[in-house]
Structure 1
């Protein structure tokens, strides 16, 4: 595995006044050299698309459950023995260049998953 310089961003998302999600983003500096603090606070994707002119194409996601870490318990106000839903995703531009890896750690009591699948016949 080759290492590449990244910008690491950690955010805690609050829903209805309660901490619910820890987002850890790792963004390739070769594609996005700098991420202003305001963009991280407002919307990364609005910055990438509207300010940098990038076109985000797709993401692959994996969802698992895991015991809460010390960091999860500290930032999400959950007790020892609790579990979190962990969503790991790799986001790519329309030209298939992966530029972002994200690990989102969700309080299990506030997590839901909804999907839409369309089947087409050949």
Structure 2
């Protein structure tokens, strides 16, 4: 085994043991320069160790900030309709939001018109939020909401679950949603999610309906793949080969 390969494994084992012991109280791992000096190796060797740990899901990196211990991912189940707050609440994390935009907009968007989201004045709620768990950005939401069914949305409501507000305060009966899932690069969302522009995101297009088939919501949510995982239970239909 070459010397640099041995050192790479040595650094990896060192960090992994520190994670298991809970050494990194603020979750931040030593910098590349610090580790390079400590083990008398190049930063390239340190990066090899960090990359291996990241691929195993033990750490994640933030551009210009460093490497951090990867906490348990938020889990979204795809066999039920739940909000971000409901998903994260199972992990007992501290949920918060950064409000980028919240306003009623006049629009002649044909898609929103066809879904029936506009009120009599051709207005629709446009809400953009960054969702956090334990002060770490997890998801970027960009959604439109029925202009007539939702009379007002306060800042306090936007810090919590919109679904809870719709159901408990407005007495709206949310029934089902159509979801389309694909992947994209972070690009314009990178700044808000504190990741590089080249990092992939999972994107969900969600159209949500009430019990009477009235459309309530249409919008995209972009999830960090290093912070969020998805779970689906698939049932085999009778008669499938």
TM-score, normalised via structure 1 length: 0.87
**TM-superposed deviation, 1:81:** 1.4
Partner of 1:54: 172
Q: Secondary structure at the match of 1:34?
A: coil
Alignment partner, residue 36 of structure 1: 154
Q: Deviating runs (4+, > 6 A) in structure 1?
A: none
Contact 1:11–1:24, Cα closer than 8 Å, also in 2: yes
| Bigger radius of gyration among the two | 2
Higher relative strand content: 1
TM-score of the pair, normalised by structure 2? 0.46
Shift of residue 50, structure 1, vs aligned partner: 1.0
Q: CA 1:118 to 1:12, structure 2 compared with 1: closer, same or farther past 3 Å?
A: same
For structure 2, the 5+ residue unaligned runs are 1-109
Does the CA-based 8 Å contact 2:204-2:220 persist in structure 1? Answer: yes
Higher RCO (C-alpha under 8 Å, 6+ residues apart): 1
The answer for the alignment partner of 1:92 in structure 2 is 209
Higher-helix-fraction structure:
2
CA distances 1:15-66 after superposition (whole Å, capped 9, x unpaired): 2432111112211112212222221212211111111111000011111101
Alignment coverage as a number of residue pairs? 121
Moved more, 98-107 or 1-10: 1-10
Return the match for 1:19 from 137, 142, 157. Answer: 137
